């Protein structure tokens, strides 16, 4: 008889949790049972999922007593820190979307197209990387394998959905200084060079995440990386300009072929026909779209590219579900 898997969706009422449910509906995995958790605030919410009404439950220390095979956590770092170890101690494999465990030495940080083998190193918790890092490393991995990356300059254009449901409301409501729910300034008609908190060195935590997580996922602690992360008034899908310097020279057509043939990448690079990656194209997709691929003439062995991906799907929910599928 086939085994039935039990999957807990923690943060089921949030943007990532609801998208995870949508992705799971699309996949309709056989032999799966689900339970939906959230905070006390929205416990009791009815969510239609796979043709049934599910009632969300408050997450408590006893939630995992009944035995789960997997839990996808999308409920912030504090919740993960408190409840993920409880779940893991009860035999459940946790895939966590927060930044709580990403840089822990003994916790794998996984993008299935890049470092699936690291899944086997887990002791009950696997970290899902930051949304902006995921789409970048999907593009960078085949290029690093072929030409060896020396230095990366990231400049991001990140959608408000990356800041959760409150961020989305600040844009959709055109909120002004006195009624903002998430951002320090209006995001409507604005770009904010400020994602997550500022660190002592003048960078934001989001910029630190991109730098540190890229090195960990690629297994290349020596790559020089700098980043500027910017919130833009786009509902969903992050755009990124990536400047890459390689150890070795490359052929531009070969770079395009490599990316075109890479798992999880869709090449959209016909500038003469106005064809390049856009948020409106990537929205709802699990692929990373890449284009505007061109040589950086200011420096040897250097390249510019532009990539766009759905930050809630590939940047969070879908990547987590793909990790779970690899384990099945
Ligand atoms: N949005 C993105 O693009 C993205 C990408 C990558 C990673 N992430 C990460 O994914 C996580 C969720 O992000 P989001 O955008 O979905 O945020 P969100 O829309 O604000 O949703 C947060 C979810 O967490 C739940 N929650 C909060 N405190 C809880 C608690 N003590 N116990 C149980 N559930 C609790 C909320 O439940 P209530 O409804 O009861 O408040 C809600 O379901 C965050 O860690 C975020 O950093 C987000």
Considering the four listed CATH numbers 1.10.10.350, 3.30.1050.10, 3.30.1280.10, 3.40.50.720, the one that applies to the domain covering 5-128+316-327 is 3.40.50.720
pLDDT for 2: 82
Burial classification of residue 21, based on how many CB atoms lie within 10 Å of its CB (0-12 exposed, 13-18 middle, 19 or more buried): buried
Which protein residue's CA is at the shortest distance from atom 14 of ligand 1?
164
DSSP state of 148: -
* CA–CA gap between residue 17 and residue 43 (Å, rounded): 14
Q: Is the CB of 60 under 6 A from ligand 1?
A: no
Checking if the pLDDT of 142 tops 70, the result is: yes
Contact 45, 56 (CB under 8 A): yes
Q: Is the CB of 11 under 6 A from ligand 1?
A: yes
* CA–CA gap between residue 108 and residue 285 (Å, rounded): 25
Which protein residue's CA is at the shortest distance from atom 20 of ligand 1?
164
Residues 6+ apart with CB under 8 A from 125: 84, 85, 88, 93, 94, 96, 101, 107
292 CA to centre of ligand 1 in angstroms: 33
Which protein residue's CA is at the shortest distance from atom 3 of ligand 1?
162
Retrieve residue 101's tokens: 């465990």
pLDDT for 259: 98
Q: Which helix (H) or strand (E) holds 93?
A: strand 93-96
38: left (phi over 0), alpha (psi -120 to 50) or beta: beta
Superfamily covering domain 132-311 = Dihydrodipicolinate Reductase; domain 2 (3.30.360.10)
- The string of pLDDT tens digits covering residues 22-72 is 999 999 999 999 999 999 999 999 999 999 999 999 999 999 999 999 999
Q: Ligand 1, residues 164, 206, 315: which to mutate, most atoms within 8 A of Cβ?
A: 164
Residues 6+ apart with CB under 8 A from 222: none
Question: Over the Cα atoms of the chain, what is R_g?
Answer: 20
Burial classification of residue 287, based on how many CB atoms lie within 10 Å of its CB (0-12 exposed, 13-18 middle, 19 or more buried): buried
pLDDT band of 14, cuts 50, 70, 90: very high
Mean pLDDT of 128-152: 98
- The string of pLDDT tens digits covering residues 59-115 is 999 999 999 999 999 999 999 999 999 999 999 999 999 999 999 999 999 999 999
Checking if the pLDDT of 1 tops 70, the result is: no
25 three-class SS: helix
- The string of pLDDT tens digits covering residues 271-303 is 999 999 999 999 999 999 999 999 999 999 999
For the question of residue 123 being annotated catalytic, the response is no
Burial 188-203 (b: 16+ CB within 10 A, else e): eeeebeebbeeeeeeb
Q: What values do phi and psi take at 215, rounded to 5?
A: -60, -40
Contact 289, 268 (CB under 8 A): yes
Q: Is the CB of 126 under 6 A from ligand 1?
A: no
- Spot the catalytic one: 131, 139, 237, 307: 131
Checking if the pLDDT of 241 tops 70, the result is: yes
Average pLDDT score, the chain: 97
Mean pLDDT of 238-246: 99
How far is C-alpha 132 from the chain's CA centre?
Answer: 6
CB atoms within 10 A of CB 293: 20
Q: How far is CA 205 from CA 133, 144, 202, 231, in A?
A: 13, 25, 10, 13
Checking if the pLDDT of 242 tops 70, the result is: yes
pLDDT for 117: 98
Domain boundaries, the chain: 5-128+316-327, 132-311
- The string of pLDDT tens digits covering residues 172-204 is 999 999 999 999 999 999 999 999 999 999 999
Look-up of token digits 């200084």: 177
Checking if the pLDDT of 137 tops 70, the result is: yes
Contact 238, 315 (CB under 8 A): yes
Kindly give the interhelix angle for 318-327 and 15-27, rounded to the nearest 10 degrees. 50
pLDDT for 127: 98
Q: What values do phi and psi take at 51, rounded to 5?
A: 80, 5
* CA–CA gap between residue 8 and residue 71 (Å, rounded): 4
């Amino acid at each position: 008889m086939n085994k039935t898997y039990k999957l807990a969706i923690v943060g089921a009422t949030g943007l990532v949790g609801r998208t995870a449910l949508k992705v799971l509906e699309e996949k309709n995995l056989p032999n799966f049972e689900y339970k939906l958790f959230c905070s006390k605030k929205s416990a009791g919410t009815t969510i239609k999922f796979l043709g049934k009404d599910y009632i969300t439950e408050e997450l408590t220390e006893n939630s995992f007593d009944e035995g789960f095979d997997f839990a996808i956590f999308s409920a912030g770092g504090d919740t993960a820190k408190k409840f993920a170890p409880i779940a893991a101690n009860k035999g459940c494999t946790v895939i966590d979307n927060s930044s709580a465990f990403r840089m822990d030495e003994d916790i794998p940080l996984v993008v299935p197209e890049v470092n699936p083998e690291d899944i086997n190193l887990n002791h009950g918790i696997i970290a899902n990387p930051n949304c902006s890092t995921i789409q970048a490393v999907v593009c960078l991995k085949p290029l690093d394998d072929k030409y060896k990356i020396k230095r990366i300059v990231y400049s991001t254009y990140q959608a408000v959905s990356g800041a959760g449901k409150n961020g989305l409301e600040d844009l959709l409501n055109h909120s002004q200084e006195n009624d903002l729910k998430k951002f320090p300034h209006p995001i409507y008609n604005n770009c904010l060079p400020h994602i997550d908190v500022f660190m002592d060195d003048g960078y934001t935590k989001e910029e630190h995440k991109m730098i540190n997580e890229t090195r960990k996922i690629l297994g290349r602690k020596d790559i020089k990386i700098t980043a500027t992360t910017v919130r833009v008034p786009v509902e969903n899908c992050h755009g990124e300009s990536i400047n890459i310097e390689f150890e070795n020279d490359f052929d531009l057509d070969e770079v395009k072929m490599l990316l075109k043939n890479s798992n999880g990448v869709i090449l959209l690079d016909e500038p003469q026909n106005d064809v390049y990656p856009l948020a409106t194209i990537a929205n709802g997709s699990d692929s990373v779209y890449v284009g505007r691929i061109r040589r950086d003439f200011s420096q040897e062995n250097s390249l510019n590219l532009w990539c766009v991906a759905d930050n809630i799907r590939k940047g969070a929910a879908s990547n987590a579900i793909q990790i779970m599928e690899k384990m099945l």
